[in-house]
Structure formats: C-alpha cells, structure tokens
Amino acid sequence: MNASRTWHPHVTVASLVARDGQLLLVEERIDGRLVLNQPAGHLEPGESLAQAAVRETLEETGWHIRLHALVGMYQWTAPGGRHYLRFAFAGEALHHDPERPLDAGIERALWLTPDALQAQAARHRSPMVWRTVADWQAGRRCPLELLGQVE
C-alpha cells in the first residue's frame, strides 16, 4: 500500500427484518436510479453497531425494531474503489410510525419475499443485498454479544 495514501473503509450496518414471509426493504434513489437495499447506513460516532442498525432502520423506514442476532460481516469494494465493511443484523418489527419522514433519497419502505427480491437482482444496490439474505435464509446467526464494545 502506498504510504502517502490512507485507507478508510466505510463501516456500515444493515437490518434483515422479516414479517409474514417478507423482508423489510427500502427503495432509494442513487445516481438517479431506483435501487433496493435493506435498511442500512453508516456507523456514527458514539454509537454501537447494533444501535446504528436500529437507528438506520427507523430513519429509512419508520419501523421500530429489535435486533436478535448478527447475520454476518461482509467486505466489498465498489466500482470506483470505495471499500465497505458491512455488519448485517437479524431483527423483528415492533411497530411502525407512518408519519415519520424518511431519510433523503429514500423513496419508500416496502416488504418483499426473498424470491421477489432475488428476481429483481439487477436493482440491488450492491451484491451485499442478496448475500446477506442468502446467509439469513441459511440460518446464519451469531449472538449479539460477539460484537463486544470496549469502553
């Protein structure tokens, strides 16, 4: 690695929230294109990974959730060279606040079956969208305690 260039991966979180055989997703506008993603976003200073996942889900969908498990950790390099480190969580929907404004760029929250999501693979924001669902469907779950936060 070039010593004059500092590497800063983007640390992100995503939530896989299931209800009645469907997953909570967002349709968002990225570079003028409507794409599908789990509720997801960046870790902010002072919050844990789990807190970030709960916050991002609320901000992007209006759904309050409870996390149960870590599904996986994923590394991806996007076209153009941006590096991402994603922590994906499994959780449950508690209640919805339909009056809550959604984050900028989010067109709507929607529920899709995994099959319907997979059928729209060309619209996934990144390959991590389906990879996390596939791991979730395979039953991959790690206890949240795996992500110990050191104070």
* Range(s) of the domain holding residue 85: 14-142
d(CA 90, CA 88): 7
Q: What is the CATH number of the domain that holds 41?
A: 3.90.79.10
Residue 2 located in a structural domain: no
Question: Is pLDDT above 50 for 94?
Answer: yes
Which tokens hold the place of 151? 């104070």
Q: Is residue 3 part of a domain?
A: no
8 within some domain: no
Instruction: Give a yes or no: residue 149 inside a domain.
Output: no
Q: How many domains does the structure of the chain reveal?
A: 1
pTM above 0.85, yes or no: yes
pLDDT, tens only, 50-90: 999 999 999 999 999 999 999 999 999 999 999 999 999 99
